[in-house]
Chains A and B, each alone.
Chain A
């Protein structure tokens, strides 16, 4: 008997040691980005998530709209169908790192604000690399993995969510489209449509002008809604243990999203240069005779901007936060190392997701940016070679445009150069390039 209890004790100690070793190894594997990376598990959504789709849509705010009931009901049906078809591991995360971390923040926010509990909200982490978060009028909220690359602390993630929750709470989307419908169905607009339909002359320019008018009207509302959500979001946040002060800077971070997180240039002439196959200047030779600048769109840009300027938003948020009574909030509630792991993981996940979506130019771009930071990372070297293999396949099948975008005047100079390079590589060169690169970037 004694022997048995000693055996059990020993087994417990052994299991504890194994657990500690495994846990340490797992954390090590996740955090040692300089060596390698393993993409997060593509777990299927928990059964409960799938079961809740119908429940969420039955309680959807879209069904309680009094005006334009039919239209909003149909929209709700379409959204339910969308989630039924797309709530899977290809589009969303249900892993054991990012998913629980983000859900914890969401629950903290909802639990701290009783009025949010009544909204029947659901949070998802999308695989989209676009640095953005969004609130759907059906109660679904999404945080894109691409956004997590940029944010600086847990409080900022919470503020992004609080901002989006405010949109749902204030029914902004529903109000926006009700306004749009009011405007669209107004006697004045209908009269204009009638006039355009029956007019023989200048029909296209008249209909374009009306389309612009309706669009600008919608975007002017949009800016008001953003300001409202900034303020209410801050109030929601102040009810949580998160730091309002540390969260406000998120608005400045958002302003930098147009720029790449990693500033070091991609040195294509060094990366793709080898003794046997030297880099060719024609690979990045640009034809600048005609510069793609759309002056007309530029002139209209301010009119269709949906968000007010970030600096103004930040200043307003700081002013408001000074008036908010909050005991000193915390920058992090969960383990801060977990945040930084997720922030770095998001970089790698964007590479993996874009690779899976055959977006070679974007996957390659981020791989090269990170390779500069982690020159020995095996995963990044693998991605570099595998993306080149995809280009080879695309060239064989004459489908390069399915994998690589054309140079665009609005992209960063690094991205433009990479895209020029990827578009210039000849079929007769790709095989040699892959061979040389696999020698230069060996995967041990």
Chain B
């Protein structure tokens, strides 16, 4: 205590010439790493601020005090609000929809099977709280409670100016075993919209992924199966009306040769149509073991009719562009997992992905031979270069860039090695095996930056690859830190936001780093 007093005196008499405003934003007394409850506030594709939801202290036997803090894009404090809630409140998702901030919370030790979503305005004023059913077992099975540090994975999706779409894993009944399904809820904040609810029909296994939305509909990719042992996996795109929840179409996209596996969508700025992007697989192959053969881009209307389509095979790209690595050595394209597709103001489209391939796992084989194999397999996935495919206005590839970032190995559990890359790609993503973090679009869509991790001589880096004004620039920041945990968030154009949690000091600090572009 005495030391504290003397330290205080000395600080008070400090003769430092420092006269600057703090360049970092700091939150004190943070006893748990609640960084998952933190994130950027995005408006018009630009980061306009950040929110932080943290545990403060215990209020009483059954309640804790939590604090919601909002900052602007420069980490200057805008507002804060203290909230009380149950003891084991876990932030499982948070999103901002240009008007309202929604935080999805679960009391994970409670027997009460509900989730609450709290809504705040941009001054941290609490607007409302809604309660929805929550199935802890289903959440655990589908990994809803924990996803790796992938900022683009979420179950609470902002629909700008309208509301939020919330996905919750459920267990559907039917037959002997319970099956995993989904409930989808529209929670509007705009007056012209109403709540609607969708639930997987009984006797069906359904795993959805929210792809995006346009002015009228929200798109989901759905993997369905009748039972865990019977029937094949079916894959379709479901479009739901934003106002009513009505299913506008539910269809499997194929052409004469290929099945189209949609990975992401983009609204066509020049019409009511929507671009679908994804991988192509052989139509006649079993979905589970299929290999991705290439990529497609299709333009569809809101009834699911294809208006324009372009497909290209990885083998064609290899033939036409003869891709080489940074040392100039030829690269076998193999499979590319597409993370994001970005359309620039000049009409150019960029598909951002990572090359990955299957390889024999030395450690898996050794462990099995030594008799210590417990679920370890003979096969691993090697995640290699970042790949950026540039497409012209006619959606045909015009260039390909391979960016070396070192290789990552993801060992596959026994049995999974038989699956095709169409299944293994999402598996690696769920395991956090890809290095891709997120992409930031510059104001007026004049360019973009892709952010990805890399390992160099045991040191970790966060890298940026920017395409702006037809110029390509790379940069990197070392992630060497004394903090317990470090997160990189999107920031205002040209910057990255670094948030660190210091367990010993019980604090979170955030700062901005400008990268070359």
Binding site for B on A (CB under 8 A): 71, 74-75, 78-79, 82, 86, 91, 126-130, 136-137, 142, 173, 177, 181, 184, 200-205, 282, 285, 287, 289-296, 357, 359, 395-396, 398, 400-401, 405-411, 423-424, 426-428
Contacts and interface: CB of A to CB of B under 8 A. Distances in A.
Interface in B1-31: 2, 5-6, 9-10, 12-13, 15, 17, 19-21, 23, 29
A417 B468 CA distance: 24
8 contacts: A78-B6, A177-B9, A205-B57, A287-B48, A292-B71, A294-B79, A359-B20, A410-B21
A290 B473 contact: no
A202 B74 contact: no
A406 B514 contact: no
B475 A398 contact: yes
Contacts of B74: 292, 406-408
Nearest to A79: B13
B78 A292 contact: yes
Interface in B459-510: 468-469, 471, 473, 475, 477, 492, 494
Contacts of B56: 204-205
A287 B469 contact: no
A207 B80 CA distance: 18
B445 interface: no
A291 B78 contact: yes
A71 B514 CA distance: 44
Nearest to B77: A294
Contact of A71 (B6, B13, B21, B513): B6
B19 A128 contact: yes
B76 A398 contact: no
Nearest to A410: B21
B285 interface: no
B234 interface: no
Contacts of A400: 513-514
Interface string B48-83: 110000001111100001000011111111111010
A292 B79 CA distance: 8
B517 interface: yes
Nearest to A411: B21
Contacts of B49: 289-290
Contact of B57 (A142, A202, A287): A202
A202 B75 contact: no
Interface residues of B, number: 55
B314 interface: no
A34 B264 CA distance: 62
Given A202-B58, A290-B49, A406-B74, A398 B21 contact: no
B43 A289 contact: yes
Nearest to B15: A82
B79 to A, nearest CB: 7
A126 B5 contact: no
Contacts of B514: 395, 398, 400-401, 423
Interface in B408-430: none
The 10 closest A-B pairs by CB, nearest first: A292-B76, A406-B74, A204-B57, A289-B48, A290-B49, A427-B516, A290-B72, A400-B514, A128-B17, A292-B72
Nearest to A134: B15
A58 to B, nearest CB: 18
Nearest to A292: B76
Contacts of A291: 72, 78
Contacts of B48: 287, 289-290
A71 B9 contact: yes
Nearest to B24: A401
B512 A401 contact: yes
Given A75-B6, A428-B471, A290 B122 contact: yes
Nearest to B41: A290
Contacts of A409: 72, 76
Nearest to B20: A405
B376 to A, nearest CB: 40
Contacts of A137: 13
Contacts of B58: 200-203
B46 interface: yes
B122 A408 contact: no
A406 B514 CA distance: 11
B303 interface: no
B108 to A, nearest CB: 21
B65 A398 contact: no
Contacts of B78: 290-294
A406 B79 contact: no
B443 interface: yes
Nearest to B16: A128
B134 interface: no
A114 B65 CA distance: 59
A129 B20 CA distance: 11
A428 B517 contact: yes
B63 to A, nearest CB: 9
Nearest to A409: B76
Given A203-B57, A204-B65, A205-B56, 18 more contacts: A128-B17, A177-B9, A203-B58, A282-B443, A287-B492, A289-B43, A290-B78, A293-B79, A294-B78, A398-B475, A398-B514, A401-B514, A405-B23, A406-B76, A411-B21, A426-B468, A427-B473, A428-B468
